[in-house]
Structure 1
Amino acid sequence: MDDSAVTLNLYLGTEFTDGQLYFGEVRCSSHVRSTRSRDDEEFYLEHQVETACLHLGNHRHKALPITSDRRLNLIVWVNYDI
């Protein structure tokens, strides 16, 4: 999770091994850090060159480690006041 309303993750780099983007569940602000994802709530996104992923900041996520080469991403966090 991050403190943004919306996060844009743009994959700019060359090919690398492993390093998927993991997504867990989306929870309300009262429960977002207190519960663990169930298996049916988990998703792993494989990066492809020149693609982007747009998601809510409170959607539990993390970049998994790469095992070869290097990863180059542009991350944009968008916040707003309501």
Structure 2
Amino acid sequence: MSDAVGPGDLVLCVNAAPNHATGRPAPLQAGETYRVIGVMEFACPCGRSDALLDIGVDFAWCQTRFRLLPKPKAQAMQRRTWAPREKETTR
């Protein structure tokens, strides 16, 4: 996943279990989205991932806790064009 995730991407937290390296409770909330600040190409001590994600909460988190959210697709908006109305002349 590390090659698909980059700074500025949105990720969904799917695992808010305690930190598996220290055992401390994680300040993350399952089901919340976070913006990735940076991707550190460093193998996680758990051995399940090849990168750690910096999301601005504590230091870095194993990427297995997150799922990449799809980027919103740009949609073309139709603009309304206003044409002058033709006036009927009555005599």
The interval holding the TM-score normalised by the smaller chain is: 0.3 to 0.5
Whichever structure has more strand as a proportion of its residues is: 1
Using the size of structure 2 for normalisation, the TM-score is 0.31
Q: Larger RCO: Structure 1 or Structure 2 (Cα < 8 Å, ≥ 6 residues apart)?
A: 1
